[in-house]
Structure 1
Amino acid sequence: MCGIVGILGKSAVADKVVESLRRLEYRGYDSAGIATLENGHLEICRAEGKLRNLETKLDKHPLKGHAGIGHTRWATHGKPSERNAHPHGTKRVAVVHNGIIENFRELKEELKAAGVTFRSDTDTEVVAQLVDRELLSGKEPVAAVAAVLPRLKGAFALGFLFDGKTDLLIAARRGSPLAIGYGNGEMFLGSDAIALGPFTDRIAYLEEGDWAVLTREGAEIRDETGRIVERAVQKVPAGALLVDKGNHRHFMAKEIYEQPEVISHTFGHYLDLDTETVCLPELPFDPKEVQHISITACGTALYAGAVAEYWLERFGRVPVSTDIASEFRYRETPLAPGGVTIVISQSGETADTLASLRYAKECGQKVVAVVNVPTSTIAREADVVLPILAGPEIGVASTKAFTCQLATLACLSVAFGRAKGVLSADDEHKLVRAFMEVPRLMTEALKLSPEIEVLARTLAKARDVLYLGRGTNYPLSLEGALKLKEISYIHAEGYAGGELKHGPIALIDEKMPVVVIAPHDRIFDKTVSNMEEVAARGGKIILVTDPKGAEAAPVNAVQKLILPEMPATVCPMVYSIPVQLIAYHTAVIMGTDVDQPRNLAKSVTVE
């Protein structure tokens, strides 16, 4: 999760920008930089590594401008380096950016054909060069940004500073959060309200699609249609916690809405967007030689592993077994020396998963750890670590960690497929392009929240809920049921669609809600037959699908939650959003403690 800061101040802002960036360090980063207006002209200072490296450069060459922007970067396109650090810019504009610009390749080719020379490897520079071209055509900054934003495809947050414009900042968000801080003759911009805590306690949050023009007198906010809108200014305590809830009621809601941003960083870490290839760290084994993979985890992480089982077998054509860690560690599973075991844990401290890791190593296995905390015990004891880069997750019920685990495992699966020769270079390119679309598709999925909130009023009256799915949507149905149980305390079960007639159908009556996760894929018709069986017994069907699925489904559903069409491989990541929102809104209506549900702990470090 990159950090964005912007300040229109009364005095030199460089030190304040760095102070704000330090409050965003918890998000993680690999480089940092700031831009200020020195006597009205843009000056940029950037450094690879930690903020202290940037401060060292600023000590030698101080920036004294009263307007500035800053950024801490997780590499999402282009390796960590000073040349790829933000801000990026030209003589006329500097920009900081979170997220991924999906169509940067087409835009970059267009700009190159027009004679533009690029100085970095990032997708962000495309934004700066597009705005610069509009400025060169005679447009003023506001009109230039307004012309460029509709051309950008993806999920992003942007901050702009312009040469000669000492009283102007422009901000825009689509999928990544941004907050505006109101001061006394000063204005502030930040990825999180916490970044602005030292300077103001009056905060407004930009909503999806908003963009804003900031001057020291205030902010004019426009929605994605260009219409001027009002966003509520909230009073936020100056001593806010390091990680706050933003404009959400619960940490879980905030973490659900962070997913388009955080998953872009996960993919950015494992993908080379320029060559459209997967780039993993060096593995302590040759994927071509691997004959079997064991996956072990607990809870939500287990279901991420179950999705990966489908991907690894399909793309890598390697047999995979997925086990609950608490069973794996005790049943003395025979593991061949030289084999591979993948352990998955958000905290990296899960007791059963750690014990399974140690058992696998005793058996001569090479262990891959998929974790969110790279300094954890599991990370230290594994042979190779694949960090998911989700950032701190406060809500006990995992949301963004789950989808970032899926993103990491999807990249690993593609790497296996390429190494084994199952996937061609063209196949890899297509899959990487599909992964790049995920942040935008997640942003679209979040727009279902109002519909789901209404639906939740019905679900809150149920005693039992059934979730059905096939293929990779089967583990997602298990995850959906787990989420509902965890935070609403309603009994729920997830089943493979083909198992309906093998017992669960006995539960179906007119009081039973059945959530069917069914994009229009190659097995959609099979899932339709399951829906017909449920409908014949009066079950209340809630269908999560795409436009083709909604049109093709022959049965009436209580609710159809319609997502955009997308490649089947990315469905588990995007369809996680409505599944999580169903649980969240139901729990809120039930009045439960959403962030800290009874009897549960964030990290299970004992048996």
Structure 2
Amino acid sequence: MCGIVGYIGSKSAQEVLISGLKQLEYRGYDSAGIVTLNGKKATLLREKGKVAKLEAKINTHKVSDQVGIGHTRWATHGEPSKRNAHPHQVGDIYLVHNGIIENYLELKSMLIKHEYDFKSDTDTEVLAALIDFIYQDKGDLLEAVSGALRMVVGAYGIAVMSDRDDEQIVVARKGSPLIVGVGDDEIYIASDASALIGYTDKVVYLKDGEIGKCIRGQFVLFDLDARPATVKVEKLELDLKSIQKQGFDHFLLKEIHEQPDSLRSTLSGRVDSSKGHAKLGGINMDTAQLKDIKNIIIVGCGTAYFAGMQTKYIIEGLLPDVSIQNEYASELRYRSFSVPENSVALIVSQSGETADTLACLQELKRRGVRCLGVVNAVGSTIAREVDGGVYLHVGAEISVASTKAFTSQVAAMVIFGLMVAQAKGAGAKQLQDYIKELEILPDEIAKVIENQESNIKKLAKKYSRYDHALYIGRDSLYPTALEGALKIKEPDR
């Protein structure tokens, strides 16, 4: 859940970077840092703890630099500490990195033989040293980064600078999201679109295996073999309101209250009880293809997995001749499994970037399975790679504990189940009953929030002193209990 920001232009890089890091705080982190360049002079600042602590340090080390990169870290390799915080410097190279370099120990052993010393416990510092090792020979930053990445096994989203050249930042991704924002004679970099809001609405979503060079006002893109790639500029669909608390104490509470409206957005134009009709326009399947479905594989992690489980309980009665599998992506990707004929997969992810879910998507597509995305983030990797799908339209979900995405994921998948049932000749009365229940759901949720919030607050206060809780449910309430328990675990960790 680390975060990356970067900037090159005419503004104060320190101000842009710290603003971006604040927007990424919701993702969780244990340390933060930035580095800016002015000619060959670098200002590298890192702190364990909150971004506010880093900001206080920046305020005592103000510089006018106009290029830099920053990072919020959630520890994987190495404990939370200042020395393990990003950016990492090795020789002429400064690097921020999301992801995991799986063969870092092998690379580290090789680099030690070439007299590289390591100050941290991280895999990121090893990647920085590898880039520097190649850079000393090649003298070209883009070539050094691409050469290093061809030697790497694992996932990464990176931004790289050299103190030999303060006119460029090199970025690359594989299995970890990275977005480049294009402004007037300036370039912004972020791992999450929320860090770009207020600066630009023109963005480029990097694809796996792409590497880009950011210079002032210009962005060029290549594959890892230095072949030019097409730069596709898209419009960012987020707005500032969606990432503000709007008077609520925290984003989790705000997003609970947003559920009636977000669910209405998910349902809008997709169901009509008067006609007993359900339609998801983006799935790209005709009636004959829907009728032929014999097996539905729902794939997700965490909340998305529980949404799939909830959906399975709801639609099994509608589809008696269809087998429905609900699979945890982080388990499925490492299993040997068979895929029945006439299968379709629902790939469920709020962000559209969940690494294990994406890996399952790629494996299922390799096996010839039609994959449909159930995704909230427009332009995300999963949304681009599926054969069709549905956007949830719930707006930005900032809280780590998902709420509005869960309810809308279930609704969207139930609509898909209704479409399959329609194609297989389900009775109009049965379809109408399901659709009516969906249509009244936003108002029912609103009533619960309005009528029960004070009672819920009293219960929360009463039970807040307890260290353990059991969530119990059976049948269709079993996944509800699991998801409810997750809502307690996530904010409390």
Coarse TM-score class (shorter-chain normalised): 0.5 to 0.7
Distance 2:109 2:129 in 1: 12
Query: What does residue 388 of structure 1 align with?
Result: none
Query: What does residue 141 of structure 2 align with?
Result: 141
1:593–1:14 Cα change, 3 Å:
closer
Query: What does residue 83 of structure 1 align with?
Result: 83
1:123–1:65 Cα change, 3 Å:
same
Query: What does residue 316 of structure 2 align with?
Result: 492
1:237–1:591 Cα change, 3 Å:
closer
Q: What SS class does the counterpart of residue 167 from structure 2 fall into?
A: coil
Alignment deviations for residues 65-104 of structure 1 (CA, whole Å, 9 cap, x no partner)? 1110011111121111110110001230100011111111
One-letter amino acid of the structure 1 residue matched with residue 220 of structure 2: E
Task: Confirm whether residue 584 of structure 1 aligns to residue 374 of structure 2.
Answer: yes
- Which range moves more in the overlay, 171-180 or 192-201? 192-201
One-letter amino acid of the structure 1 residue matched with residue 316 of structure 2: A
| C-alpha displacement of 1:55 | 1.6
1:458–1:154 Cα change, 3 Å:
farther
Listed as ranges, the matches of 1:167-566 within 5 Å are 167-236=167-236, 239-242=239-242, 460-461=290-291, 480=308, 482-483=310-311, 491-492=315-316, 508=321, 512=322, 557-558=341-342
Task: Confirm whether residue 117 of structure 1 aligns to residue 127 of structure 2.
Answer: no
Distance 1:479 1:225 in 2: 40
1:588–1:69 Cα change, 3 Å:
same
One-letter amino acid of the structure 2 residue matched with residue 207 of structure 1: K
CA contact (8 A) 1:462 1:513 kept: no
How many equivalent pairs are there? Answer: 349
Distance 1:220 1:168 in 2: 11
Distance 1:13 1:131 in 2: 24
CA contact (8 A) 1:31 1:50 kept: yes
Q: What SS class does the counterpart of residue 101 from structure 1 fall into?
A: coil
Query: What does residue 166 of structure 1 align with?
Result: 166
Distance 1:167 1:581 in 2: 42
One-letter amino acid of the structure 2 residue matched with residue 557 of structure 1: E
Q: What SS class does the counterpart of residue 184 from structure 1 fall into?
A: coil
1:484–1:167 Cα change, 3 Å:
farther
Distance 2:357 2:313 in 1: 20
CA contact (8 A) 2:294 2:341 kept: no
Distance 2:286 2:108 in 1: 44
Q: What SS class does the counterpart of residue 207 from structure 2 fall into?
A: coil
User: How does the TM-score come out when normalised to structure 1?
Assistant: 0.49
Query: What does residue 330 of structure 1 align with?
Result: none
- Which range moves more in the overlay, 455-464 or 24-33? 455-464
Distance 1:395 1:226 in 2: 43
| C-alpha displacement of 1:43 | 2.6
1:102–1:68 Cα change, 3 Å:
same
Distance 2:62 2:227 in 1: 40
Listed as ranges, the matches of 1:121-132 within 5 Å are 121-132=121-132
Distance 2:29 2:93 in 1: 23
| C-alpha displacement of 1:138 | 3.5
| C-alpha displacement of 1:239 | 3.8
1:115–1:242 Cα change, 3 Å:
farther
1:477–1:186 Cα change, 3 Å:
closer
1:134–1:241 Cα change, 3 Å:
farther
Task: Confirm whether residue 20 of structure 1 aligns to residue 17 of structure 2.
Answer: no
1:484–1:231 Cα change, 3 Å:
farther
CA contact (8 A) 1:188 1:196 kept: yes
CA contact (8 A) 1:480 1:580 kept: no
Alignment deviations for residues 173-222 of structure 1 (CA, whole Å, 9 cap, x no partner)? 11111111111111111112221223222211112221111111311112
| C-alpha displacement of 1:482 | 3.7
Distance 1:131 1:74 in 2: 23
Identity of aligned residues (%): 30
1:545–1:228 Cα change, 3 Å:
same
Distance 1:477 1:21 in 2: 29
CA contact (8 A) 1:21 1:71 kept: yes
| C-alpha displacement of 1:232 | 2.1
1:548–1:32 Cα change, 3 Å:
closer
1:483–1:228 Cα change, 3 Å:
farther
Q: What SS class does the counterpart of residue 154 from structure 1 fall into?
A: coil
CA contact (8 A) 1:518 1:549 kept: no
| C-alpha displacement of 1:144 | 0.5
Query: What does residue 274 of structure 2 align with?
Result: none
One-letter amino acid of the structure 2 residue matched with residue 64 of structure 1: S
Query: What does residue 103 of structure 1 align with?
Result: 103
CA contact (8 A) 1:13 1:68 kept: yes
One-letter amino acid of the structure 1 residue matched with residue 341 of structure 2: A
Query: What does residue 58 of structure 1 align with?
Result: 58
CA contact (8 A) 1:10 1:186 kept: yes
Distance 1:56 1:234 in 2: 35
Distance 2:393 2:157 in 1: 31
CA contact (8 A) 1:466 1:481 kept: no
CA contact (8 A) 1:9 1:66 kept: yes
User: How does the TM-score come out when normalised to structure 2?
Assistant: 0.59
Distance 2:11 2:96 in 1: 22
1:588–1:45 Cα change, 3 Å:
same
1:466–1:172 Cα change, 3 Å:
closer
Alignment deviations for residues 379-404 of structure 1 (CA, whole Å, 9 cap, x no partner)? xxxxxxxxxxxxxxx998xxxxxxxx
One-letter amino acid of the structure 1 residue matched with residue 142 of structure 2: V
Query: What does residue 357 of structure 1 align with?
Result: none
Query: What does residue 94 of structure 2 align with?
Result: 94
| C-alpha displacement of 1:461 | 4.0
Q: What SS class does the counterpart of residue 137 from structure 1 fall into?
A: helix
Alignment deviations for residues 5-36 of structure 1 (CA, whole Å, 9 cap, x no partner)? 11112143111110111111111111111111
Structure 2 runs not aligned, ≥5 long? 245-250, 253-260, 264-281, 346-354, 376-385, 395-404, 412-437, 457-476, 478-493
One-letter amino acid of the structure 2 residue matched with residue 20 of structure 1: G
Distance 1:455 1:515 in 2: 20
| C-alpha displacement of 1:454 | 6.5
Q: What SS class does the counterpart of residue 145 from structure 2 fall into?
A: helix
| C-alpha displacement of 1:51 | 1.2
Distance 1:590 1:62 in 2: 46
| C-alpha displacement of 1:46 | 0.5
CA contact (8 A) 2:213 2:220 kept: yes
Query: What does residue 8 of structure 2 align with?
Result: 8
CA contact (8 A) 2:372 2:389 kept: no
Distance 2:73 2:120 in 1: 14
One-letter amino acid of the structure 1 residue matched with residue 374 of structure 2: Y
